[in-house]
Structure 1
Amino acid sequence: MAKYDSKSLRNVVVVGHGSTGKTSLCESFLFVSGKTDRLGRVDEGTSTLDHEPEEQKKRISISSATTFVDWHKFKINLVDTPGDSNFSFDTQSCLRIADAALVVLDAVSGVEFQTQKVWEYADDFKLPRMVFINRMDRERANFQTAVATIKDKMDVKVTPICLPIGTHESFRGVIDLLSMQAIIYDDLKGTFKTADIPADQIEEAQTWRETMVEDIAESDEAMMDRYLEAGELTAEELRTGLRTGVNSGALIPVACGSALKNMGTALLMDIITQYLPSPVDRGPVKGVKPGTEEEEIRTPEEGSPFSALVFKTIADPYAGRLTLFRVYSGTLTADVGMYNASHKISERFGNIFFLDGKTQKTTDMVIPGDIAAFAKLKETGTGDTICNEKSPIIYDKVVPPPTIMSFAIEPKSRGDEDKIGSSINRLIEEDPTMRFHRDDQTKEMIISGMGQIHIEVAVEKMRRKFGVEVNLKTPKVPYKETIKAKTNVQGKYKKQSGGRGQYGDCWLDIEPLPRGSGFEFQDKIVGGVIPNQYRPAVEKGIVEAMDEGVVAGYPVVDFKVSLVDGTYHTVDSSEMAFK
């Protein structure tokens, strides 16, 4: 494998709405770069990245996947993310460690709901980004309309730097507005030739180029002055201005093509390597000193103390747990110790891998900015910071959102009941948005997640990975009872059967409390009508009785009881009698 430095790395997370061709675009990267000799296809189940059986069955990405390509001595780390909102946490975690986002749109649909969500996530992390309008070969594909949806629905300014040549069946290439040349594709292998811009598109190309030049000039005050003086920018000024503008977030370039036909892919990889930022361009990163609010800063240099953030965990029943991380500073070499600053523990590891879909490629060292993985770490999970123990730091992590849907879960085989909890806990290791508990009231096992698809996929993984088959059903409603109005009641217990008897007598004021307040007890006894040693027993008796209400036997909640009066017997009264 070629050697790189941090300036030659590009960490790009591919995001967008579902079914816009994100995975197909990554497959096209692999094919056009020469890394694979066959174009992997999602619809045929041959994708390098959508390799999970559940993904091949549903024909959608349900989990992020990483790969990398070598392009003109640059290493492009690609992280392909799910487009379904059920798996948004995974997408957010990947964006957290990226240096840039590649937002993929469908040329027919333009901006869709999940496009807007991932755009907001990228905003949260202040990520430079660019847009790729895919599927220009589709019927009703319209480049200008797709661009307009970005401006209309997200209220942002974007800068097209290429145009399509033809659409639908006539789509055959793109116009590079920077070089003002046409790129014509000869076949479906991504091979192309450069040519003059078609005569019927020269005027259109000139208009779009003028807009592009103005956008680049406006992104920098000094460049704007030169543009106003000369009326044009040199090729070098355009390249420098575009790169600077993209890195600062002032410019969002737009390219186009067809991933399935490998059209526009080579130009897109050129754009990524030339204009998207490297880890060095992104500069120092901030964290905190463990146990304090004191700010710590790390630079993406090999001489800095090692630090990295774990952004994904994969639970594999055979290979064990895989831990994916991005290095922010320093270098990591194999066969050394590693300190988890989030949990204040040390762990040892053996091999370090670069992941290529499901394939693991061993490496001896990981440099600042690169993405890699460990195998079989026991304590380190998603969101943890790993670092040099002598220079600890903790980076911000993405917090899992609350779940929105729950099912009761039961084993198909009686002997599998004990396996359910351990299997789901293994899945939670790789997907922290999943929850599992046993309802104390209904006695059901409850699995919760981000939606029905999310939970169904988890059930399929349980069967495939751990051999546990379960049924999902609607959970029983854990009803509660409460008090509607204030009342005063007497509780009296008297038992005489020869010898010492049992006697307890108390008067209680019972009143409702606001929803969610729970239970409150107050001792209002004045004088010695009930001795002090018996009064706590009254509260204990009430707490035990709360488990089963008088209306339908459900737990009683949100009420207050005041002990106001009572009587006792010097011989027969006891703690048990008052309880």
Structure 2
Amino acid sequence: MASRHSNDRNSGGAAGADTGPPAASEVRNVVLVGHTGAGKTTLVEALLAATGTVSRAGRVEDGNTVSDYDDAEVRQQRSVNLSLAPIEHAGVKINLLDTPGYADFVGDLRAGLRAADCALFVVSTAEPIDGTTRMLWTECATVGMPRALVLTKLDHPRSDYAGTLSACREVFGEKVLPLYLPVPDAGGPVTGLIGMISRQLHEYRDGARTAAELGETDAVRLEEARGELIEGIIEESEDETLMERYLGGEELDPKVLIDDLEQAVAHASFHPVLPVCSASGLGTTELLEVMTSAFPSPGEHPMPEVTSVDGAVKNGLTCDPAGPLLAEIVKSTTDPYVGRISLTRIFSGTLRADIPVHVSGHFLTGGGHEEHDEDERIGALSSPLGKTQRPIGQAHAGDIVAVAKLSRAETGDTLSDPGNPLLMRPWDMPQPMLPVAIVAKTKADEDKLSQGLSRLVAEEPTLRVENNPETHQLVLWTMGEAHTDVLLERLSKRYGVEVEQTELRVPLRETIAGHGEGRGRHVKQSGGHGQYGVCEIEVDPLPEGGGFEFVDKVVGGAIPRQFIASVEKGIRHQMEKGVSRAGYPMVDVKVTLLDGKAHSVDSSDMAFQMAGALALREAAEAAGVTFLEPFDHVSILVNDDDVGTVMSDLSGRRGHVQGTEAVGQGRSLIKAEVPQTSLTRFAIELRAMSHGTATFTRTFAHYEPMPQHLAAKVME
């Protein structure tokens, strides 16, 4: 498949070596999406080798600079981070964005979808289409991302190309059609590919691609499959005469078909399929040709919503290097030698090294990310590959580069001209739902913890840090166990802060079970000025949300007026501390002050505060104390097949299911109220029972009395 772009840039080699910044028409921003183990990272490495960017041994060859790309550390980081690998083919720079396949790192997936203009959806031919793969397809469809499918692992013993292609069409739709036929079709290793538009056969042997003659059997197979592909492309064409001409027997110009294919892919209405074997390199050249000739350029992809920092809509911006500067940080990382490195997509204008920019961070969701607007000078620009940062002087609209030394900018921030500050609407980020309580290991770690966490939050928009004022715990809200492990490892290795996980405490409440009476007597005589305060009260429960009610029924001046408020103050203070050994705040109580005694000399504000506190504790003991636990509103989006399992699980968590509703595409929404004590690991357990396909949100609902057997455990 020949490129539809003509230019003077060299084919192959490291992207952007000596030719200056590419124009937007010479750039393809491609994000690789797929389940863990589908072969995304191996495919990136095969494409790097196919373009000569790295050798098969995995060493970057960039002038005099040679560095390892494939070492274990870099591979591990790519498995949990969005990473960039620029390559070049046929004069077109291709920015490959490799995304993690773990569900915990969906934030990086969405960042990659924001930065890219087309997606390679990677599916293993050795595994069935699972729920996670369906969910990833939905993520792409939600943002209207153009997609092509790459079927990998053709050399695996369990590889079933035909079965996987059929499953993809069944799950993803009839507009999933192959551009190439593997040879042989079934049985034995795949040794070649037949281009169904060009009718050409290329064989791959010993790492080399050579043209070959079509055999009679392959020619028959080709014509059987080619018709459906051509009709699928024509159906998406704006030329209404093509179908009639094709059905009339006219042989259509391949260039016309390629142009229509590109338009259909750009509209996300047609999804071509390419078979690739990363180990042998089979299909890599064809994939490069498709990316350069049939994938949309940055100028063909819709611009995200842009406003001024005060909210005024800005229309008319295009992918123009001469336009106003508009860029977005899609990923922040920290290098121990360079400092913070911001992976940045330029949507408009030209970004140059060492210029002032306006940094805008206005977030749609919480998470500890404060809104900010400030000017900052950027450092060097570079094109990253593995551990290597290749310096560049400037980058044009449509490109993706690494920016150094943006110390105050966070992932998701907008960069613009200080004289014309702009703001891009942030992409939707999932809310972290797994709470993890941590404590610093040592005093030295405690001193560095705050700064380390603030840096993590700046890098990771799916992390939320909470200092719970009731439980006095530092809580990290993460996406799951893998996410937690990665964050704590970064905290340790990058910022030298060691922490330990501790048991999460849920903020309970105490209340009065019934009517009770109590007497508080605080009398001390130790020579000199003494302390004297006596009060008698009764307590009664209030309805949920009643708070605190204080009634004064003292008659005859038994307690001087100036000390009535002191009694109330002492009672309120005791309620904040709680009356049980567990020490949770007390709520929903009515206290009536009935009587008391005072001393003309020794009574004081403090004495009656102490008396009020003692009276409340005695009255609560007489009335009985009930623990209240918080319940959350929980909304769970789950596959229809898993509804029964999830509802049964909610029942076991003492949840109150309020209803279910179908939301389409085989999915249902379950709404329930569940005690927070049963939700501490729900993010992990829901993922397990739904095979990684279910998601949920939670918001505080109300407090309810805790069952006695659980309350007894709290007291223990």
- Which range, TM-score by smaller chain? 0.7 to 0.9
How far off its partner does 1:215 sit? Answer: 0.8
Moved more, 340-349 or 287-296: 287-296
Partner of 2:549: 522
Once residues 153 and 467 of structure 1 are traced to their aligned partners in structure 2, the CA distance between those partners, rounded to angstroms, is 47
Secondary structure of the structure 1 residue equivalent to 2:547:
strand
Q: How does 1:204-215 map to 2 (within 5 A)?
A: 204-215=221-232
Partner of 2:412: 383
**Which amino acid is 2:179 matched to?**
I
**Which amino acid is 1:9 matched to?**
V
Aligned residue among 17, 26, 35 for 1:17: 35
Partner of 1:160: 178
- Summarize the Cα distance change of 1:513–1:400 in structure 2 as closer, same or farther, 3 Å threshold: farther
Partner of 1:34: 52
Partner of 1:430: 459
Once residues 521 and 314 of structure 2 are traced to their aligned partners in structure 1, the CA distance between those partners, rounded to angstroms, is 64
How far off its partner does 1:141 sit? Answer: 1.4
- CA offset digits 1:504-537 (Å, max 9, x no partner): 53635442654xx5x8223444898888865654
How far off its partner does 1:211 sit? Answer: 0.7
How far off its partner does 1:446 sit? Answer: 4.4
Checking the alignment, whether the CA contact within 8 Å between 1:12 and 1:78 is kept in structure 2 is yes
Identity rate of aligned residues, in percent? 28
How far off its partner does 1:362 sit? Answer: 1.2
Partner of 1:460: 489
Q: Let me know the Cα RMSD of the aligned residues.
A: 3.1
Once residues 489 and 402 of structure 1 are traced to their aligned partners in structure 2, the CA distance between those partners, rounded to angstroms, is 47
Aligned residue among 217, 242, 257 for 2:234: 217
Partner of 1:226: 242
Aligned residue among 110, 113, 137 for 1:92: 110
Checking the alignment, whether the CA contact within 8 Å between 1:338 and 1:388 is kept in structure 2 is yes
Task: Say whether 1:291 aligns with 2:310.
Answer: yes
Aligned length: 565
- Summarize the Cα distance change of 1:142–1:347 in structure 2 as closer, same or farther, 3 Å threshold: same
Secondary structure of the structure 1 residue equivalent to 2:168:
helix
Partner of 1:483: 511
- CA offset digits 1:435-487 (Å, max 9, x no partner): 44566666665444222222223333344334445554x51544635226343
Q: How does 1:337-486 map to 2 (within 5 A)?
A: 337-342=356-361, 343-409=372-438, 415-436=444-465, 445-472=474-501, 474-478=502-506, 480-483=508-511, 485-486=513-514
Aligned residue among 321, 332, 355 for 1:336: 355
How far off its partner does 1:199 sit? Answer: 2.6
How far off its partner does 1:429 sit? Answer: 3.0
Checking the alignment, whether the CA contact within 8 Å between 1:341 and 1:393 is kept in structure 2 is yes
- Summarize the Cα distance change of 1:198–1:412 in structure 2 as closer, same or farther, 3 Å threshold: farther
Checking the alignment, whether the CA contact within 8 Å between 2:437 and 2:475 is kept in structure 1 is yes
Secondary structure of the structure 1 residue equivalent to 2:330:
strand
Checking the alignment, whether the CA contact within 8 Å between 1:408 and 1:444 is kept in structure 2 is yes
Moved more, 169-178 or 146-155: 146-155
Checking the alignment, whether the CA contact within 8 Å between 1:51 and 1:358 is kept in structure 2 is no
- Summarize the Cα distance change of 1:425–1:177 in structure 2 as closer, same or farther, 3 Å threshold: same
Secondary structure of the structure 2 residue equivalent to 1:96:
helix
* Structure 1: stretches of 5+ with no match in the other structure: none
Moved more, 229-238 or 256-265: 229-238
Once residues 504 and 399 of structure 1 are traced to their aligned partners in structure 2, the CA distance between those partners, rounded to angstroms, is 59
Checking the alignment, whether the CA contact within 8 Å between 2:304 and 2:425 is kept in structure 1 is no
- Summarize the Cα distance change of 1:285–1:461 in structure 2 as closer, same or farther, 3 Å threshold: closer
Once residues 29 and 196 of structure 1 are traced to their aligned partners in structure 2, the CA distance between those partners, rounded to angstroms, is 26
- CA offset digits 1:297-344 (Å, max 9, x no partner): 521112211011111000222211111110111111222111113322
Checking the alignment, whether the CA contact within 8 Å between 1:481 and 1:551 is kept in structure 2 is no
Once residues 560 and 237 of structure 2 are traced to their aligned partners in structure 1, the CA distance between those partners, rounded to angstroms, is 83
Task: Say whether 1:325 aligns with 2:344.
Answer: yes
**Which amino acid is 2:73 matched to?**
P
Once residues 383 and 51 of structure 1 are traced to their aligned partners in structure 2, the CA distance between those partners, rounded to angstroms, is 29
TM-score by length of 1: 0.88
Partner of 2:656: none
Checking the alignment, whether the CA contact within 8 Å between 1:17 and 1:113 is kept in structure 2 is no
Checking the alignment, whether the CA contact within 8 Å between 1:296 and 1:393 is kept in structure 2 is no
- Summarize the Cα distance change of 1:209–1:156 in structure 2 as closer, same or farther, 3 Å threshold: closer
Secondary structure of the structure 2 residue equivalent to 1:310:
strand
* Structure 2: stretches of 5+ with no match in the other structure: 1-16, 60-65, 362-371, 610-716
Task: Say whether 1:507 aligns with 2:507.
Answer: no
Partner of 2:96: 78
Secondary structure of the structure 2 residue equivalent to 1:454:
helix
TM-score by length of 2: 0.72
Moved more, 279-288 or 27-36: 279-288
Once residues 565 and 89 of structure 2 are traced to their aligned partners in structure 1, the CA distance between those partners, rounded to angstroms, is 76
Once residues 152 and 368 of structure 1 are traced to their aligned partners in structure 2, the CA distance between those partners, rounded to angstroms, is 38
- Summarize the Cα distance change of 1:150–1:508 in structure 2 as closer, same or farther, 3 Å threshold: farther
Once residues 309 and 132 of structure 2 are traced to their aligned partners in structure 1, the CA distance between those partners, rounded to angstroms, is 35
Once residues 64 and 496 of structure 1 are traced to their aligned partners in structure 2, the CA distance between those partners, rounded to angstroms, is 68
Once residues 565 and 215 of structure 2 are traced to their aligned partners in structure 1, the CA distance between those partners, rounded to angstroms, is 92
Partner of 1:541: 570
Partner of 1:311: 330
Once residues 466 and 304 of structure 2 are traced to their aligned partners in structure 1, the CA distance between those partners, rounded to angstroms, is 38
Once residues 536 and 171 of structure 1 are traced to their aligned partners in structure 2, the CA distance between those partners, rounded to angstroms, is 88
- CA offset digits 1:259-288 (Å, max 9, x no partner): 121110111011011111111111444212
Q: How does 1:550-565 map to 2 (within 5 A)?
A: 550-557=579-586, 559-565=587-593
- Summarize the Cα distance change of 1:489–1:294 in structure 2 as closer, same or farther, 3 Å threshold: farther
Checking the alignment, whether the CA contact within 8 Å between 1:138 and 1:169 is kept in structure 2 is no
Once residues 323 and 84 of structure 2 are traced to their aligned partners in structure 1, the CA distance between those partners, rounded to angstroms, is 26
Task: Say whether 1:279 aligns with 2:302.
Answer: no
Checking the alignment, whether the CA contact within 8 Å between 1:50 and 1:65 is kept in structure 2 is no
Checking the alignment, whether the CA contact within 8 Å between 2:329 and 2:343 is kept in structure 1 is yes
Checking the alignment, whether the CA contact within 8 Å between 2:194 and 2:200 is kept in structure 1 is yes
Task: Say whether 1:118 aligns with 2:136.
Answer: yes
- Summarize the Cα distance change of 1:362–1:577 in structure 2 as closer, same or farther, 3 Å threshold: same
How far off its partner does 1:146 sit? Answer: 1.1
Checking the alignment, whether the CA contact within 8 Å between 2:67 and 2:387 is kept in structure 1 is no
How far off its partner does 1:398 sit? Answer: 3.3
- Summarize the Cα distance change of 1:48–1:245 in structure 2 as closer, same or farther, 3 Å threshold: farther
**Which amino acid is 1:21 matched to?**
G
Checking the alignment, whether the CA contact within 8 Å between 2:531 and 2:607 is kept in structure 1 is no
Partner of 2:125: 107
**Which amino acid is 1:492 matched to?**
G
- CA offset digits 1:136-167 (Å, max 9, x no partner): 11113122221222233345631211121126
**Which amino acid is 2:131 matched to?**
F
Q: How does 1:188-207 map to 2 (within 5 A)?
A: 188=207, 191-207=208-224
Once residues 52 and 394 of structure 1 are traced to their aligned partners in structure 2, the CA distance between those partners, rounded to angstroms, is 38
Partner of 2:646: none
Secondary structure of the structure 2 residue equivalent to 1:298:
coil
Checking the alignment, whether the CA contact within 8 Å between 1:339 and 1:387 is kept in structure 2 is yes
